[in-house]
Amino acid sequence: MTTAKPATIDEYIAGFPRPVQEAMEQIRATIKKAAPEAEEIISYAMPTFTLNKTYLVYFAGYKNHIGFYPAPVENETFKEEFSAYKTGKGTVQFPLDKPMPLDLVTRIVEFRIRENLARTNKKRSRS
């Protein structure tokens, strides 16, 4: 990746080798399809999607994988699928030498939308 900080997701993706760009574009398109109202920004120097002014998901390109954040790695619904990937606290790594798990990305985004909506509704009910 280039050393200049990107201002847009397009600039961010353009700074990577072609195979990484292709994987990131697949992830990006999948997020956009699952959350069409989400806005694209750069946050923490990573491509970020926000929904209703709340962070939804981030992704980042690396030499051998795409990092995806936050991933519900502790959630039982996803536990079996995540066992095929390297995970950390709230992160999952999708290796570039395998097809991107776009169905899993869709379900993570849908999960995060529900999670954010519940959090937003909880905040509103306290007001």
CATH number of the CATH domain containing 43: 3.90.1150.200
**Two tokens, residue 117:** 């909506």
Per-residue pLDDT at 99 = 96
Q: Does residue 1 lie in a domain region?
A: no
Spatial contact of 63 and 36, defined as CB atoms under 8 Å apart: no
pLDDT at residue 119 in the model: 75
Report how far residue 120's alpha carbon sits from residue 19's, in angstroms, rounded to the nearest whole number: 37
What is the extent of the structural domain holding 65? 9-116
Does 122 score more than 70 pLDDT? Answer: no
Q: Does residue 81 fall inside a structural domain?
A: yes
**Which one has a higher pLDDT value, 5 or 97?**
97
Please give the model's pTM, rounded to 2 decimal places: 0.89
Q: Residue 106 pLDDT > 70, yes or no?
A: yes
Split into its structural domains, the chain has a count of: 1
Q: Supply the pLDDT for residue 117.
A: 85
Assess if residue 34 is contained within a domain.
yes
53 within a domain of the structure (yes/no): yes
Q: Is residue 121 part of a domain?
A: no
Residue 2, pLDDT > 50, answer: no
Kindly state whether residue 61 falls inside one of the protein's structural domains: yes
